[in-house]
Structure 1
């Protein structure tokens, strides 16, 4: 029996999602994508899940698209690229998406890592865009998101050369936010997510994520004005009162969960 390409494990209010094709460094397939996105959609609507951590089984995060599926790519049409959900679906998650990048993240695997809000890595973590070395282009919006993470010239370097980036460089240029000891990537990412789950308002997190997305293409005055409007909305929700009371009373807050959102759309 073929093992599920994606595994899930609940750790309190944190859902750990694991790409599970370790024999091929978790190479991406449509089946893996569908299961992964289904788990994200379910987590987004589950009031008991407040953060999601993604990682890879074995010694890699994701080596990119399964090249066997691209053997007949020359005959592909636009219809062949249509999927049940847009491939950037992870960025629509309202809850924090934390990457435990436990090994190589290449091509589409690199893109999936960039879709995470925060990334953890170890000395074993490596990145490569890979596309140019396969005769491909900068796929899945990486030409938009990568410059915003590492800057334009560094993004050009990584996309044009497709060279391998080791953990030290990845940490230095911002591909990794937290560099931890080898073997502790998942535990560190889960601990970070659990701290968020306990101490942060789910509604605040969702709004902040939407601000980061919208303000990426806004001017500063537009972002500041939008923040004023959102601040007034926040004052009217119970989260502010609970956040202040819990701080003054020196206890963990009891913030309300997010409501169910359906259908799921990108922010």
Structure 2
């Protein structure tokens, strides 16, 4: 499939989705929205993909919405439902929203944040499961400085990642946060020199696809994103049921076998 505003490739069972408007710091467009969703769906459905990396071309990850397009925005575009997919009874409704679909992807999504990450760009970064950043990356919610509000579930996701106090600070002030501070508050997992970011990110992704059960990753990811809606008892009952199913899986048998035989794992995801 050909794309206009993104690039898509698969190598070593890792799908890479690259926001590709480098002259605009990958400012978000309606075309980019549709293409990112299509690429995420393609990666999720591809048995040859076990992890996904989302990044930006050039000096930035995503500097937010394209302001030239935002000036002519029809308010009805925000609440329109024409972009939604048919309801999936196998997925939690909470994760079938316009941008909040990442938790429903049964594969780890790693955000490789190579530069400016602002507004809607930060929304997408936060919906990634893991975030690695260049040490010169800058982050901002941006919304309050544009007369806007915390959009697309940001007021739900952000405090769960950085805590209530930090979320209030970032949302109210919309101040710029440098990568070291972002790491200290848990906004990103790790920070690397710009020239080392790609190698470190893909080394991590290759470790996942080579040495970790894709079945385990899918179940663990679902457990993590179900947990905010569960009591401790509900979470424990779910874990007990999933553990019983794990004992019956091929990946469990392979997990024991490769450890005992001291060889590389050959997980199938079944």
TM-score normalized by the length of structure 2 = 0.90
The equivalent residue for 1:54 is: 54
RMSD of the TM alignment (CA)?
1.8
Greater relative CO, 1 or 2 (CA 8 Å, sep 6+):
1
What secondary structure is seen at the aligned counterpart in 2 of 1:73? coil
- 1:117 aligned to 2:129? yes
Write the deviation string for residues 137-196 of structure 1: whole angstroms up to 9, x where unpaired.
Answer: 100100000000000011000000000000110010011101112222122111101100
Write the deviation string for residues 70-95 of structure 1: whole angstroms up to 9, x where unpaired.
Answer: 22336536654642442222222110
- Displaced runs of 4 or more, over 4 A: none
What secondary structure is seen at the aligned counterpart in 2 of 1:124? coil
The equivalent residue for 2:111 is: 99
Write the deviation string for residues 45-104 of structure 1: whole angstroms up to 9, x where unpaired.
Answer: 111110011110010000111122222336536654642442222222110100110001
Write the deviation string for residues 206-243 of structure 1: whole angstroms up to 9, x where unpaired.
Answer: 11010001112222222122111110111111111100
Mapping of 1:68-107 within 5 angstroms? 68-73=68-73, 75-76=75-76, 80=80, 82-85=82-85, 86-107=98-119
- 1:223 aligned to 2:206? no
Distance in 1 between residues matched to 2:237 and 2:84, nearest whole Å:
36
Relative distance call for 1:58 and 1:81 in structure 2 (3 A) is farther
Distance in 2 between residues matched to 1:98 and 1:77, nearest whole Å:
29
Flag structure 1 segments of 5+ consecutive residues without an equivalent.
259-267
The equivalent residue for 1:199 is: 211
Question: Does the CA contact (< 8 Å) of 2:251 and 2:269 recur in 1?
Answer: no
The equivalent residue for 1:181 is: 193
The equivalent residue for 1:30 is: 30
The equivalent residue for 2:89 is: none
Question: Does the CA contact (< 8 Å) of 1:37 and 1:90 recur in 2?
Answer: no
The count of corresponding residues between Structure 1 and Structure 2 is: 257
The structure 2 residue matched to 1:238, chosen from 250, 256, 268, is 250
